[in-house]
Amino acid sequence: MAKILVTNDDGVHSPGLEVLRKHLKKLGDVIVVVPEREMSTASHSLTLRSPLRVSRIKKGIFITSGTPSDCINIGTLGILKEKPVLVVSGINRGPNLGDDITYSGTVAASIESTLRGIPSFAISVASFKNCRFNLAAKFAFILARYILKNGLPSHTFLNVNVPNVSIRSIQGVEITHQGKRIYKENLVKRTDPRGRTYYWLGGDEPTGEIEEGTDFAAVARKKISITPVQLDLTDYKMIDKLRNWHIKFP
């Protein structure tokens, strides 16, 4: 039976994990490799300076001391004997929209899978509270079936955000492009009991420009947003402009 690898960045205790596993089991042999604790905003970090531990806690469920990207490497190189046909990362608690996807461990696991030549999607519920993971898991099953049938380009994966509404309120699916984050100034300065200063980075829910066609706009309209994401970050339009700078060195 085809192997499907599942990971996340919220860790093994995330309620989004078990419901995702259940729905994907209809499509293949689901192997879960996830961080043992929450790794949100781990981004695409890799653990290179300390060894990685792996424990099998149930049949088909492994926890690791590493990041979501580490989980992909452990899953594909250490646990699975064959290449999985699909990697699903999620279901994330909270949106992964616009510029913020560069911080996301959930999205990073899909980047790592794509680098390893495995089709992948990342899926998030666009709320931090009372997440309707069941609805997102149902959609994950549908989307996984489409990907297994149609394939994905070799350097592209999908980033999915599901609005946190009831199945009756969902206004369908929209293919979107990545929106721009509206950045808030959010550094909180405090003083500890010994009089020393420390800082907290703010954790506000992200907001973005509700521009037509973006992931932000789709979710705001109660649509499931699917953004195709590619790994080449080159700004091709800038190449000619930079050549015209005629930088001489030495």
Region of 11-19, 22-30, 124-132, 223-231 interacting with a second copy (CB under 8 A): 223-231
Residues 45 and 33: their CA atoms lie apart, in Å, by 16
Which of 175, 205, 211, 221 is in the footprint of a second copy by CB under 8 A? Answer: 175
Distances from the Cα of 120 to the Cα of 135, 222, 245, 247, angstroms: 19, 24, 39, 40
Distances from the Cα of 188 to the Cα of 118, 172, 199, 202, 205, angstroms: 41, 39, 5, 7, 16
Stretch 142-161: interaction string toward a second copy, x if CB under 8 A: xx--x---x--x-xx-x---
Q: According to the binding rule CB under 8 A, does residue 17 interact with a second copy? A: no
Q: According to the binding rule CB under 8 A, does residue 30 interact with a second copy? A: no
Which of 81, 129, 130, 232 is in the footprint of a second copy by CB under 8 A? Answer: 232
Q: According to the binding rule CB under 8 A, does residue 57 interact with a second copy? A: no
117 Ramachandran zone, left/alpha/beta (phi>0; psi -120 to 50): left
CB of 60 to a second copy, least distance (A): 18
DSSP-derived secondary structure letter, 25:
T
Which residues, including other chains, have CB under 8 Å from residue 25's CB and lie 6 or more apart? none
Residues 63 and 57: their CA atoms lie apart, in Å, by 7
Distances from the Cα of 216 to the Cα of 126, 160, 191, 199, angstroms: 10, 11, 36, 29
Which of 80, 148, 165, 170 is in the footprint of a second copy by CB under 8 A? Answer: 170
Which of 148, 177, 210, 220 is in the footprint of a second copy by CB under 8 A? Answer: 177
Q: According to the binding rule CB under 8 A, does residue 43 interact with a second copy? A: yes
Region of 17-25, 70-78, 87-95, 123-131 interacting with a second copy (CB under 8 A): 70-78
Stretch 184-203: interaction string toward a second copy, x if CB under 8 A: -xxx-xx-----xxxxxx-x
